[in-house]
């Protein structure tokens, strides 16, 4: 068996790992990057997750009522594939052009704390490294429901992106981020969508006014909801998959041309041989790390989704910064340094949030100010009317003692951009008054801050 000795071994092409590999390689360290699938060069974000799904969301939003749903969807998928092909090639080139980085195709499996055997068909390569970074991410978790594994009409969040034909009837099992993004997307492509969720209320971690607004927008686009429901099985028929569910009012069947299972994700750790290295995992299989992303084995780190942290690409990028600080810096950076980290669910329009919501803020027992306003009622914000998307709302929670923003929800066109400005203000100690009195370009979505924050009032 051939052997390769490098300074750093990265297993998996995710955002944190590829960024580390490139930066360390350009500093002159020898780096090996191992990836089991050539279709995943660049990581999950650009190939199967953030980028391709948001490309499909954008395409769905552009469809007009007179456009043929199937033809539009087929063209959208082709555009999605062309985009990911370009990004994958560029990501591969960005590391291949670094002289000290070696790219290896194959399945990695630990054989010791600092050595990994890479298998590609009959070929074997033993890679040894003082520093190893596990960056294998997560994959859709399919529940143990009869019919899920055997039905050709059942999809996960990856395969549904190439469903053919476009389903006239789509049942989405799961009302979280993934489920609702796909429900919104396919409704705009022209499918009749039903979301089945086991919770009694939709989006239980959002304030009720926000969750109700999101549900209303989804229902207006044609999405139906069945909450408090348990999926018992999926039966294949000649022309449909029958999703058998149980609710408080009894059992019923939902006929579907396609079924999307969106009930969570699991870490890609099962084939890594972590036990051979003595690397600890939790009860779900996620690699256990400390605040500096170190595993229990010295010199071995885990970055990105596989370490059980928030499953966002920008968190993986920050994981890279923490590990870089360990390897080349002052070794002081930790996950505790993350403040006011925003999130966005890409509905139409997007729903973004940062900091505390009203429920969480009330639980602190402090005095609070709140401001909330429907997008359609914000006179100082004409951009939504210009682009023809006036759904949603803005909501702020402010500490009256300090005039600082404790949290905000932006459910609006451009929410994914506006929330970043608010998050920066929260990190930098910029007051609500400064945001209210800010001079913003016109017409822009940022102008909403002028009007909405002028309506702050005490929470009763």
| Beta bridge mates, 107 | 119
DSSP for 196-225? E-SSSSSSTTS-HHHHHHHHHHHHHTTEEE
Nearest one of 167, 137, 162 to 56, comparing CA atoms: 162
pLDDT (mean) for 401-429:
98
203 to 113, 173, 215, 285: CA distances (angstroms) = 42, 14, 9, 26
Report the alpha-carbon distance of residue 171 to residue 208 in Å, rounded.
24
**What does the pLDDT look like over 214-237, one tens digit per residue?**
999 999 999 999 999 999 999 999
**CATH number, span 343-458:** 3.30.390.30
In DSSP notation, 353-397 reads EEE--HHHHHTTT---EEEEEEGGG-TT--HHHHHT----EEEEE
Report the alpha-carbon distance of residue 444 to residue 334 in Å, rounded: 36
Find the mean pLDDT for residues 256-271: 97
CB distance 300 to 343 below 8 Å: no
| 107-120 pLDDT tens trace | 999 999 999 999 99
Sign, Cα dihedral of 75, 390, 45, 8? positive
Rounded to the nearest integer, the mean pLDDT of the chain is 97
Q: pLDDT tens for residues 382-409?
A: 999 999 999 999 999 999 999 999 999 9
Q: Would you say the CATH fold of 154-263 matches that of 2-139+266-337? A: yes
Of the pLDDT bands very low, low, confident and very high (cuts 50, 70, 90), residue 33 is very high
Mean pLDDT along residues 290-294: 98
pTM for the predicted model, two decimal places:
0.96
CB count within 10 Å of CB 343 equals 16
Element (H, E) at 234: strand 230-236
Phi/psi-derived region of residue 196, left when phi > 0, alpha when psi is between -120 and 50, beta in every other case: beta
Instruction: Specify the DSSP class assigned to residue 111.
Output: E
Rounded to an integer, the average pLDDT of 164-186 is: 98
Among 109, 115, 114, smallest CA distance to 269 is for 109
Does the annotation count 155 as an active-site position? no
How many CB atoms are closer than 10 A to CB 126?
A: 15
Confidence of residue 1 (pLDDT cuts 50, 70, 90): confident
**Which CATH code for domain 154-263?**
3.50.50.60
Name the token pair of 281: 């995992």
What are the residue ranges spanned by the domains of the chain?
Answer: 2-139+266-337, 154-263, 343-458
2-139+266-337: CATH, from 3.20.20.140, 3.40.50.10260, 3.50.50.60, 3.40.190.10: 3.50.50.60
For the cut 90, the answer to whether the pLDDT of residue 57 exceeds it is: yes
pLDDT at residue 460, rounded to an integer: 75
Q: Which residues pair with 118 in a beta bridge?
A: 108, 125
The structure tokens listed for 404 are: 């600082």
Residues 451/418, Cβ–Cβ less than 8 Å: no
């Amino acid at each position: 068996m051939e052997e390769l000795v490098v300074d750093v071994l990265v297993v998996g092409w995710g955002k944190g790992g590829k960024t580390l590999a490139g930066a360390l390689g350009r500093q002159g360290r020898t780096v090996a990057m191992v990836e089991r699938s050539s279709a995943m060069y660049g990581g999950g974000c650009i190939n199967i997750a953030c980028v391709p799904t948001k490309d499909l969301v954008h395409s769905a939003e552009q469809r007009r009522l007179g456009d043929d749903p199937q033809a539009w969807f087929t063209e959208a998928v082709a555009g999605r594939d062309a985009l990911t092909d370009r990004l994958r090639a560029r990501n591969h080139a960005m590391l291949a052009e670094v002289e000290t980085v070696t790219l290896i195709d194959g399945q990695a499996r630990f054989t010791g704390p600092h050595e990994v055997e890479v298998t590609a068909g009959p070929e074997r390569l033993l890679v040894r490294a003082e520093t190893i970074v596990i960056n294998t991410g997560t994959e859709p978790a399919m529940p143990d429901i009869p019919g899920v594994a055997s039905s050709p009409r059942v999809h996960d969040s990856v395969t549904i992106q190439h469903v053919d034909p476009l389903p006239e009837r789509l049942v989405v099992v799961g009302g979280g981020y993934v489920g609702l993004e796909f429900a919104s997307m396919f409704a705009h492509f022209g499918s009749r969508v039903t979301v089945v969720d086991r919770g009694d209320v939709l989006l239980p971690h959002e304030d009720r006014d926000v969750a109700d607004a999101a549900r209303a927008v989804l229902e207006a686009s044609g999405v139906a909801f069945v909450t408090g429901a348990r999926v018992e099985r999926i039966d294949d028929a000649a022309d449909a998959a029958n999703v058998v569910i149980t609710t408080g009012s009894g059992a019923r069947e939902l006929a579907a041309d396609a079924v999307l299972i969106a009930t969570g994700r699991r870490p890609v750790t099962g084939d890594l041989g972590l036990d051979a290295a003595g690397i600890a995992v939790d009860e779900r299989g996620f690699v256990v790390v400390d605040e500096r992303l170190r595993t229990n084995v010295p010199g071995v780190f885990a970055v990105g989704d596989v370490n059980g942290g928030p499953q966002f690409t920008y968190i993986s990028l920050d994981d890279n910064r923490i590990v870089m600080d360990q390897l080349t810096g002052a070794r002081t950076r930790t996950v505790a340094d993350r403040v006011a980290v925003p999130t966005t669910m890409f509905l139409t329009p997007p729903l973004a949030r940062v900091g505390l919501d009203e429920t969480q803020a009330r639980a602190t027992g402090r005095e609070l100010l709140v401001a909330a306003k429907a997008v359609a009622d914000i006179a100082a914000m004409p951009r939504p009317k210009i682009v023809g998307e006036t759904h949603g709302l803005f909501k702020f929670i402010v500490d009256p003692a300090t005039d600082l923003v404790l949290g905000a929800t932006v459910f609006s066109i451009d929410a994914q951009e506006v929330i970043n400005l608010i998050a920066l203000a929260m990190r930098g100690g910029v007051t609500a008054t400064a945001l209210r009195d800010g001079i913003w370009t016109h017409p822009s979505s940022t102008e909403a801050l002028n009007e909405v924050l002028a309506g702050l009032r005490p929470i009763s």
